[in-house]
Amino acid sequence: MLKIWGRKTSSNVQALMWCVGELGLEYQRIDVGHRYGGTDAPEFIEMNPNQTVPVLQDGDGLPLWETGAIMRHLARCYANETFWPKDLNALAQVDKWAEWAKLNIAQAFSVPIFWRVVRTAPKDRDNDAILSAIASLESKLQIAEKQLQAHDYLAGQEFSLADIQFGHVLFRYYDIDIVRADLPALRAYYESLSARPAFVEHVMISYEELRVI
């Protein structure tokens, strides 16, 4: 049984929960962070001195933090060979795209765009900074667009961990009130993710509790 600490509206928790859902693993999730608090509790700091979510404990194992590391652990332990290949060359491709997505997509969207659009009051928004951040993000999304024109999924023809690290931001990217570039392959890819039950359950959820008005 997995034990997971983290609120369901955290994008990092959503990535982890989507991964757990795709792998069909049993879990207990505990709301921590944002309006739930708890990250400054001594027992939480003992698990994760960074005071961030998610944190995972797999059975009797030591607590794990950092979303990518947690998901790679789950993939190594529980995934099939398409999700996390045993062949080292194929695995390197999945890992490459997963790392690219974390550094170039998730980090470029969550704070520079989502926080400025949703988690900042309209009177305090820096619209020029938002437009600049969108342009920077979409220059990277053009790379994904080219990849997805030739492949069904980010790392190839099979759904893998790379798609979770990349795709978990797309619901909010397509849902928030911004002007987006025309990226038809990316849009079709997002629509295919939206048909996955675990994506619907863990990613396509309201973020209204985070909105500042």
Looking at residue 191, what is its pLDDT?
98
What is the share, in percent, of the chain residues with pLDDT greater than 70?
A: 100
Range of the domain at 61: 2-78
Looking at residue 94, what is its pLDDT?
98
In the chain, the amino acid numbered 106 is A
Domain boundary among 18, 48, 78: 78
Domain boundary among 78, 97, 125: 78
Domain boundary among 78, 110, 131: 78
Nearest to 173 by CA among 150, 160, 189, 154: 189
**Mean pLDDT over each residue of the chain, to the nearest integer:** 98
Cα separation, 126 vs 135, whole angstroms: 14
How does residue 56 score in pLDDT terms, banded at 50, 70 and 90? very high
What is the average pLDDT across 110-133? 97
How does residue 72 score in pLDDT terms, banded at 50, 70 and 90? very high
Domain count of the chain?
2
Chain-centroid distance of CA 102 in Å reads: 8
Instruction: Identify whether residues 187 and 148 lie together within a single domain.
Output: yes
Encoded tokens for 212: 């500042």
Instruction: Identify whether residues 74 and 112 lie together within a single domain.
Output: no
Tell me the pTM. 0.97
- pLDDT tens digits for 6-26? 999 999 999 999 999 999 999
Cα separation, 80 vs 23, whole angstroms: 9
Encoded tokens for 30: 């505990």
Q: Is residue 189 part of a domain?
A: yes
Chain-centroid distance of CA 212 in Å reads: 22
Q: Is residue 201 part of a domain?
A: no
Looking at residue 127, what is its pLDDT?
97
- Measure Cα distances from 133 to 31, 50, 102, 139 in Å: 30, 26, 16, 10
How does residue 168 score in pLDDT terms, banded at 50, 70 and 90? very high
CATH value at residue 101? 1.20.1050.10
What is the average pLDDT across 63-70? 98
